[in-house]
Structure 1
Amino acid sequence: MKTGLIFDMDGTLWDSSENVAASWTEKIKSLGLKRPDITKQDVMSIMGLTMDRIADILFGDLPEKERYELLDQCCDHENEYLRIHGGVLYPDLESTFRRLRKKYSLYIVSNCQSGYIEAFLEHYGFGKYFDDIECYGNNLKGKGDNIALLARRNRLDKAYYIGDIQGDYDATMQAGFDFIHASYGFGKIDHTVPELKKFSDLPKLLESLIN
């Protein structure tokens, strides 16, 4: 039986909100636009949403075409910024990846733009731990569809999605897999689910769930 662990990004593996805000503010200023700075709080408020929803929330005062063009420019700059500067990793991330790889296949599915996951993997050299990734920016599909797509593509018999917000749980239920709540992250879950208090506890938690 092939068991996969599929990870959310923001609030599960890292917190990139401060550098995302910095990169967007930098890009907007470089374009000569007179808009308020994008703050960490702004970014935290839209974490987990698909990119079209983010454009509607942060740039909703602009005509539709202009808001999506600005979003694309900010996201492209964000990817390059994060590739150089990274974000804030949760403790013991890489050592836990090493332990998990001995028994499981590892994946990432996010509602982010294309290139965001790659920036994370490239900055930290984590690509060697993951077998596949998928995101909204690649195919305009929501997280539930992409969890299911990735599982089919990699012929997973069983999968756990590890995420931190209600939307992650809902997407996992849509895809028909099991969910683990990264309770150290950004959100709460309205259901009783296995809870991960710190990332390094994941191998032990999985042993209790699978055995």
Structure 2
Amino acid sequence: MMNKPTILFDLDGTLIDSTEAIVNGFYKAFRSYNLTEPTKAQICSLVGHPLEYMFGSLGVKEHLIADFIAIYKDDYRQNYLAQTTLLPSGFEAVSKASEFANLGVVTTKTSLYSKNLLENLGILKYFSVVIGRDDVTHPKPNPEPILKALEAIGKSSKSYMIGDTPMDAKAAKSAGIFSIGVTCGYESRENLESICDYVCLDTLSAVEYIKISNS
């Protein structure tokens, strides 16, 4: 495994589109308390952060955040498989990457939901490890989840993190690995270029860049 590079993937906005499931879960939580729902754009701007941070940033009082998360998770649990799809070229990106690299997932979703999604979408078999929010004490942008994934996979010639938010890049930099931003998700190219080592259109382009860099 040491002679192969390692590629770690974020999920939302990088490999999958679960916008509908996420937004509907937030709407359900706010409606349950008869509060004005945040806009879809407001919710999407926070995707990738832990739920505690997302609800707090949307104005939920601290003592209610746990209740909002519980309502969100209940709704998400019922709908996430039906309301989540692979991004265009997502399957091709993972399949192609598996031909020359060791693969892992690092996400702020829980590992159970992540594995269920990946299995349902037909790509779980390609990944050696899936690190979710429940597997670490400090999620991205802390390097802990990336370091944990790298430890599980083993030594590689070079390691990369592909993600659609600055949090992915910050975690990668702190972990000492190369960060690639993709503009197919929830962040602008300008913001990604300000922190990522490299930025491209989508995850397949990122995989092709890594393959060329290691040929």
Superposition TM-score tier, normalisation by shorter sequence: 0.7 to 0.9
Contact 1:136 1:142 in 2 (8 A): yes
* Structure 2 Cα separation of the partners of residues 119 and 57 of structure 1: 28
Quote how far apart the aligned CAs of 1:183 are: 2.8
The residue aligned with 2:201 is 197
Aligned residues: 206
Residue aligning to 1:140:
137
Question: What residue number does 2:213 align with?
Answer: 209
- After TM superposition, the structure 1 stretch with the greater mean CA deviation from structure 2, 35-44 or 96-105, is 35-44
Supply the AA of the counterpart residue of 2:213. L
Q: In 2 relative to 1, CA 131–177 (structure 1 residues): closer, same or farther, beyond 3 Å? A: same
Alignment CA distance shift 1:97-1:20 (3 Å)? same
Give structure 2 stretches of 5+ with no counterpart.
Answer: none
Inter-CA distance 69–115: structure 2 relative to 1 (3 Å threshold):
farther
Unaligned runs of 5+ in 1: none
Q: Percent identity?
A: 21
Q: Name the CA distance, whole Å, in 1 between partners of 2:88 and 2:47.
A: 20
Q: State the 1:66 CA deviation.
A: 2.6
* Alignment partner, residue 181 of structure 1: 181
Give the equivalent residue in structure 2 for 1:42: 42
TM-superposition CA deviations, 1:157-198 (whole Å, max 9, x none) = 231000122221111011111111213332232146223223
Q: Which residue does 1:16 correspond to in 2?
A: 18
1:93 aligned partner: 90
TM score, norm. by length of structure 1: 0.85
Q: TM-score, normalised by structure 2?
A: 0.83
Which amino acid in the other structure matches residue 185 of structure 1?
G
Contact 1:82-1:119 at 8 Å conserved across structures: no
Q: CA deviation at 1:5?
A: 0.8
Contact kept, 8 Å, 2:49 with 2:108, in 1: the verdict is yes
Q: Larger deviation: 173-182 or 192-201?
A: 192-201
Query: 1:92: how far off?
Result: 1.5
Deviation of residue 27 (structure 1)? 5.2
Aligned residues of 1:184 and 1:197 also touching (Cα < 8 A) = yes
* Alignment-derived partner of residue 108 in structure 1: 105
Secondary structure at 2:160 match in 1? strand
> Aligned Cα RMSD in Å?
2.3
